[in-house]
Amino acid sequence: MKASPSPLRVLSGIQPSGQLHLGNYFGSIKPNLDFQGKADQSFFFIADLHALTTLQSGELLRQARRDIVLDYLACGFDPQKSIIYFQSDVPEHTELMWILSTVTPMGLLERAVSYKEKVSKGIAATAGLFTYPVLMAADILLYQANLVPVGRDQKQHLEITRDIAVKFNNTFGKAFTLPEPLIREDVAVVPGTDGQKMSKSYGNTIPLFGSEAAIKKAIMGIVTDSVGVDAPKNPEKSVVFQIHRLFLTQHQQESLAEEYEGGLAYGEAKKRLLATFLEHFSPLRERREEYAKKTALVDEILAEGARKAKVIAEETMENVRELVGL
């Protein structure tokens, strides 16, 4: 008798540490949206426990959690097709983290590039920041996720998750599915306005739901080279083009690239990007405003999401506890 295939589970989480930006949207949110209705289950969680490593104000965290839920819903997450919840509403996350930490080699965490980068940028070198990858592993393994859409910069964390899962499975017995990272190479690293990776920590983002003035300021401030106004330009070296292409079909990209090569002025190119951005996100902004008025509905969506997530998390933990002897 042929074994039934494992259910396709796609999982993604995001920290409520500031406004969502274009890098979040194309690097994680949109790839997840593409799986709605295709995956057997889609999980989207607000990583509020992770956020405590950098955001240590109860008032600010509560507001940030709420804002990012509205952002997610505005972007098109469907509670009928997806499970949306706060990480902290499912205590199995932290229980599994502790159990996983007892089999996680120190050397594995010491090699984590993200920890070193964050500390170098002034974030406090706490135990929580150091063990961040273990909690991330728990977030993923708890739901037996097969696919995790991430940017290229998160690939190492997925590799650490897999290493921890293998270590546990080999030590105690098979408990976890090994997740695969899903990296869309065309948007693996979305450039920021300064040409580096778009990141809140770099201050180079284009906010999805900021004011129109803030969005215009960010786009018109994108760095450009010193090529003359009407001179031919290499689209592959243009940050404006690299961002604009994310919205376009292949044919549209090729057509715009030809205009760059024909001498399209950077000022005009930025105005076109701004128009494309506003056209794309205008319906989402309206949807967000509607959800913001429906406090009870949003609360209900989160409570139901946590309930559904907890059912699956508890199934995993029952097996884990049995294997380790608890």
Lowest mean pLDDT among 30-39, 40-49, 252-261: 30-39
Reported as a pLDDT band with limits 50, 70 and 90, residue 117 is confident
pLDDT, average across residues 176-191:
80
**Taking 90 as the threshold, does the pLDDT of residue 190 lie above it?**
no
Exposed e or buried b per residue across 228-238, where buried means at least 16 C-beta atoms within 10 angstroms of its C-beta: eeeeebebeeb
Lowest mean pLDDT among 55-59, 92-96, 141-145, 267-271: 55-59
- Give the C-alpha separation, 133 to 144, whole Å: 17
Side chain identity, residue 101:
S
Encoding tokens for residue 41?
């289950």
Say whether 118 is catalytic: yes
Catalytic member of 121, 197, 217, 237 = 197
Nearest to 284 by CA among 72, 28, 15, 65: 72
Reported as a pLDDT band with limits 50, 70 and 90, residue 220 is very high
Q: What is the pLDDT of residue 218?
A: 96
- Give the C-alpha separation, 299 to 111, whole Å: 39
Q: What is the pLDDT of residue 179?
A: 94
- Give the C-alpha separation, 324 to 326, whole Å: 6
pLDDT, average across residues 244-252:
94
Catalytic member of 81, 118, 217, 294 = 118
In DSSP terms, 13 is beta-bridged to: 45
One CATH from 1.10.10.60, 1.10.240.10, 1.10.10.10, 3.30.2010.10 for 210-289: 1.10.240.10
pTM of the model: 0.84
Q: What is the pLDDT of residue 149?
A: 82
Q: What is the pLDDT of residue 115?
A: 85
Task: Tell me the per-residue pLDDT of 269-310, one tens digit each, with 9 for 90 and over.
Answer: 999 999 999 999 999 999 999 999 999 999 999 999 999 999
Reported as a pLDDT band with limits 50, 70 and 90, residue 2 is very low
**Taking 70 as the threshold, does the pLDDT of residue 82 lie above it?**
yes
Fold of the 9-189+295-324 domain: Rossmann fold (3.40.50)
Compare 218 and 153 and report the one with higher pLDDT.
218
Cβ pair 164, 98 in contact under 8 A: no
- Give the C-alpha separation, 305 to 81, whole Å: 11
Q: Note the residue count of the chain.
A: 326
Say whether 81 is catalytic: no
| Percent of the chain whose predicted confidence (pLDDT) is above 70 | 96
Q: What is the pLDDT of residue 177?
A: 94
Q: DSSP strand E in the chain: where?
A: 9-14, 41-46, 82-86, 147-149, 180-182
The domains of the chain are located at 9-189+295-324, 210-289
Q: What is the pLDDT of residue 3?
A: 45
Catalytic member of 38, 116, 200, 270 = 200
Give Cβ neighbours of residue 271 (< 8 Å, ≥ 6 apart).
none
**Within 13 Å and on the Cβ side, how many CA atoms surround 221?**
13
pLDDT, average across residues 61-85:
92
Task: Tell me the per-residue pLDDT of 252-267, one tens digit each, with 9 for 90 and over.
Answer: 999 999 999 999 999 9
Q: What is the pLDDT of residue 18?
A: 75
**Taking 50 as the threshold, does the pLDDT of residue 14 lie above it?**
yes
- Give the C-alpha separation, 276 to 270, whole Å: 10
Reported as a pLDDT band with limits 50, 70 and 90, residue 1 is very low
Mean pLDDT (the chain) is 91
